[in-house]
Amino acid sequence: MRSRAGEAVLVVAAALLITAVMTWPLVVRGGSAGRIDSGDGQFSIWNVAWVARTLVVDPRGLYNANIFYPHRGTLAYSEANIGAGALAVPFYWASGGNPYFAHNAVVFLAFVLALTGTYSLVRHLTGHRGGAAVAAVSYAFCPYVLSHIPHIQLLMTAGIPYSLLALHRYVEMQTAGRASVLGLALAAQALSCGYYGIFAGLLVGYGMVFYGVSRGLWRRWRFWAGAALAAALSIAIVLPFFWPYIELQQGEGFVRSLDDSRRWSAGWRSYVASGARAHRWVLQYLDPWGEVLFPGVVVTVTGLLGLAGLAGVRRFRAEAARRDHLWFYASVAVVALWSSLGPDAGLYAWLYRIVPVFSWLRAPSRLGLVVVLALGVLGGFAVQTLVARCRRAALASAALVALAMADVSVVPLFMVEARPVAPAYESLRKWPYGPVAEFPFFYLRMDFSRHSEYMLYSTAHWRPLINGYSDHIPPEFRAMVVPLSSFPNPESFAILRQLRPQYVIFHLNLYDRRAVVELKARIEQYREYLRPIRLEDPVWLFQIAAWPPER
């Protein structure tokens, strides 16, 4: 027991150090910078901060996020990121509500957990520390994950290896405790990322059938009873958080068609594309490549060596478990790769028709992450065999880990310095609570993501916003964006009168020079209805004092 505890401490310490190196300069700029160069990056920071704050101050109102006012349940318009928000709670409150620190702390923890989860899985299957470490680095920092730093949910990859570890432990000994751990692992992954939750559930379901048949467990009622317990526990935990999505789908028909997924399917170019420094030079020859899915040289080579090892597994009793694991992960790699190619490749279309939750998905290419994990496990067996032939096994393992880190590295991580909070928002915090509309009101579909800038600013005051950006855009919002874009004028005042905001904010720096002149003239024309609170360039704050007479 002391040996296991000592190894666990060393593994966590190594994971912290490796993550600090592989995500530099995140540890030194975590409270003042982030990926705010895109709408998705701004959305992620706002999302994590909203959940971390609201879980403490108003957990029952968690899904009534402060966007698209007066709509309710708006957190369900996209990934809710409950898992990331829950992890962020202590960091958000300890930092005085700093959204950047809360978000970046979760980014850091996501990599640490992915490292420890994958290490634990491969260590359990192979018994080899070096193979486990190589697999952990290759999976946690694969090019696909590092290309999605602005998308917090796509960084929450740890639940998949932890769920598989729980599966293997349950297959070895069918107890209620191990079944419960499996259910908890599946629930944690589902609450951290819906896509990966579905992947983990499918992998565990397939694993139950695979090992149930290969080991003759399918004949035992206890085996299936434990599987049912794990499934029931997972569903019971996730269902309350998933219910708003069901209501949204029933109320507004929010669903992804099979045609939607074609655009987000992988191709052969995707599996060659990488953002890592060691092989990003290939991108110039691949355009268009779509998703970045190259697993990395180290994990690809070791994974293929592990796959080749299937032919050399001796068929006597001592090798039965190894043979099972190799076949399982080889089949997982093939099925995940095939499915990631989308509807036109056949398998994904079949799954879409028989698995109801696939109607929520639109990006088959994300199954490329499962390919990397499967290669990592297969590679763990190959590293075990290769290192055993070396005189200095520990040194050889360390060299392979360093090579794997260099293979997938993108250091330094790209980060953008946070903008200071405008004085207008400081003033807004002191005024009575009420909804806010921010301008310019971006009306072109390609510019909808720019509303996420206002969402990020709202972390300074948390007032409800007329503005909003998410995967799902309410039809009413789409209908009003054009007339609101010319506020203030009679038509836009009439729309706002129905929505009842109490404050309006103008960002003069987001208008062009001519538009600013026209805006100031219109504001002056409606000065009796707009009471200035703080007019400090470039952000002006007004209270709506009255409404113009209806015509």
Q: Give me the torsion for CA of 310, 314, 315, 320, rounded to 10°.
A: -70
Instruction: Flag whether pLDDT at 312 surpasses 60.
Output: no
- According to the model, what pLDDT value does residue 313 have? 52
- According to the model, what pLDDT value does residue 316 have? 41
- According to the model, what pLDDT value does residue 374 have? 98
Which of 444, 447, 424 shows the shortest CA–CA distance to 538?
Answer: 424
Three-state SS for 532? strand
- According to the model, what pLDDT value does residue 2 have? 67
Q: How confident is the model at residue 241 (pLDDT cuts 50, 70, 90)?
A: very high
pLDDT tens-place string over residues 504-530: 999 999 999 999 999 999 999 999 999
Q: Give the chain's mean pLDDT.
A: 93
22-38 burial by CB neighbour count: b if 16+ within 10 A, else e?
A: bbeebeebbbebbbbee
Q: Average of pLDDT values for 497-504?
A: 96
**Better pLDDT: 390 or 116:** 116
pLDDT tens-place string over residues 344-387: 999 999 988 888 777 778 899 999 999 999 999 999 999 998 98
Instruction: Flag whether pLDDT at 318 surpasses 80.
Output: no
Q: How far apart are CA 13 and CA 3, in angstroms?
A: 15
Q: How confident is the model at residue 3 (pLDDT cuts 50, 70, 90)?
A: confident
Three-state SS for 164? helix
